[in-house]
Amino acid sequence: MKKSEAWGICGIVAGAVFVLVAGVLTIQASGLAAGAQYDLNNSLASIITPRVPYLMMGALAVLSAAVVFTLTVAMRNRSAVSRMAFTSGFSAATLLLIIASFAFAATGMTPETPMIGVAPGWQGWLNRGGSSSAVHLVLLLSVGLLWLHSKSPKPTHRDATASMPRPINIPLRSAAWGIYGMLLGVVFVFIIGMLSAQVVARKLGAILDLNNMVTAVSSATVPFLPMIAIAVLSTIVTFLLTVAAKNRLRRFRVALVVGFSSATVLLLSASFLLGPLRGPKVGASIGIEPGWVGWLAEGSINSAVPVVLLIAVGSLWWYSNSAKTTPDH
């Protein structure tokens, strides 16, 4: 067997394991949030006090970030053919499992366990893993890596020295980049929350307005459009924090990521800390609070948000360890 074929098989296995493990973690997280403890067959094991599933959400974010790290940093010293084979295998397996998840959900081929709403065993893992925003985000990032691998490397020496601002402007510009990052974090969390509310509503057969109020009732459907929008938005934000800022001064890149990370962490912390104090959810019949409060609550539990946050924090480490090629380093 050729080395490239072996790496392709490894990528396929990695993609399958990622989707299924993401499904297990998502099921466990949803159970804890609803006050239920599931076993690994997705059967109800016990009733508990509802709580924020910090551990499961963190585990899914770390798993997704580890996969991104493997696809990028860990594979960077391999040959171009090996990187392409591994990434292609991972992307193909992940995409096929996501399609299978949507197909099963649309056709009802995975019967849900009574009173739980989760199919038993691997079927439930596939359903929840294939619909996870974190999985969709990592898939889009892997497809982007395929595009980068297909391009021949063109090393450049374009640094910020050619258009470096005067030293007196650097602190002010850094502050501006920090503010840009904070605004990006706020907009990102709230838009993700708004889209997540639409996902929840469509799955329950409801149509929401922008205030999260039910305007009509229809048949439950797979919310393809808002789920795709969440994945695309998360990918764009990741691109802005990493690739789009790579030719800026390191100080500006750090300010952008620090601003984004701090705003995102503050919003998530506020949502988690204030959640128990808000009392019963008052959203019309589907448990989503109205307006920006509902957007914040739904955005804080969407799996794509902590994944992007971890990637942003990882980029800070990357910037601090990058080669010193500009006077700003």
pLDDT of residue 154: 52
Report, as an integer, the average pLDDT of 228-239.
94
The pair of structure tokens assigned to 40 is: 């690994």
User: At 103, is the secondary structure helix, strand, or coil?
Assistant: helix
Beta bridge partners of 46: 37
Residue 214 — φ and ψ, nearest 5°? -70, 125
Mean pLDDT value of segment 126-136: 93
Length of the chain: 329
Residue labelled with tokens 């990521």: 257
Distance CA 174, CA 137 (A): 29
pLDDT of residue 46: 85
Q: What is the mean pLDDT of residues 8-34?
A: 92
Res 168 pLDDT > 70: no
Q: What is the pLDDT of residue 230?
A: 95
- Kindly state the greatest CA–CA separation across the chain: 66
Overall average pLDDT of the 187-210 stretch: 89
Q: What share of the chain is helix, strand, coil (3-state, %, to 5)?
A: 65, 5, 30
Cβ neighbour number for residue 247 with a 10 Å cutoff: 14
Q: What is the DSSP string of 47-70?
A: E------HHHHHHHHHHHHHHHHI
Query: Quick one: which of 215, 211, 195 has its CA closest to 289?
Result: 211
Q: What is the pLDDT of residue 35?
A: 83
Give me 143's structure tokens: 């497809």
Q: Each residue of 46-104: pLDDT tens digit? A: 888 888 888 999 999 999 999 999 998 888 888 888 889 999 999 999 999 999 988 87
Give 245-297 pLDDT, tens digit per residue. 777 788 888 899 999 999 999 999 988 887 665 554 444 446 788 888 889 98
Selection from 66, 46, 53, 48 nearest residue 26 by Cα: 53
Cα–Cα distance, 326 to 88 (Å, whole number): 35
- Do 94 and 15 meet the contact criterion of CB atoms below 8 Å apart? yes
Tell me the CB-side half-sphere exposure of residue 327, using CA atoms within 13 A. Answer: 9
203 is written with which tokens? 């799955």
Cα dihedral across residues 301, 303, 307, 310: positive or negative = positive
Looking at residue 314, what DSSP letter applies?
H
| pLDDT at residue 149 tops 80 | no
- Cβ neighbours of 323 (radius 10 Å): 6
- Matching residue, tokens 């904070």: 182
Residue 197 and residue 295 in contact, taking contact as beta carbons nearer than 8 Å: yes
**Nearest one of 81, 85, 116 to 15, comparing CA atoms:** 85
Say what the pLDDT of residue 126 is.
92
Strand partners, 207: 216
pLDDT of amino acid 221: 81
The strand ranges marked E within the chain are 36-38, 44-47, 206-208, 214-217
Q: Which of 28, 25, 53, 58 is nearest to 43 (CA)?
A: 28
Of 230, 227, 252, the residue nearest 241 (C-alpha): 252
Task: List alpha helices for 111-219, DSSP H.
Answer: 121-130, 133-150, 170-204
| Residues 327, 164: Cα–Cα separation, whole Å | 9
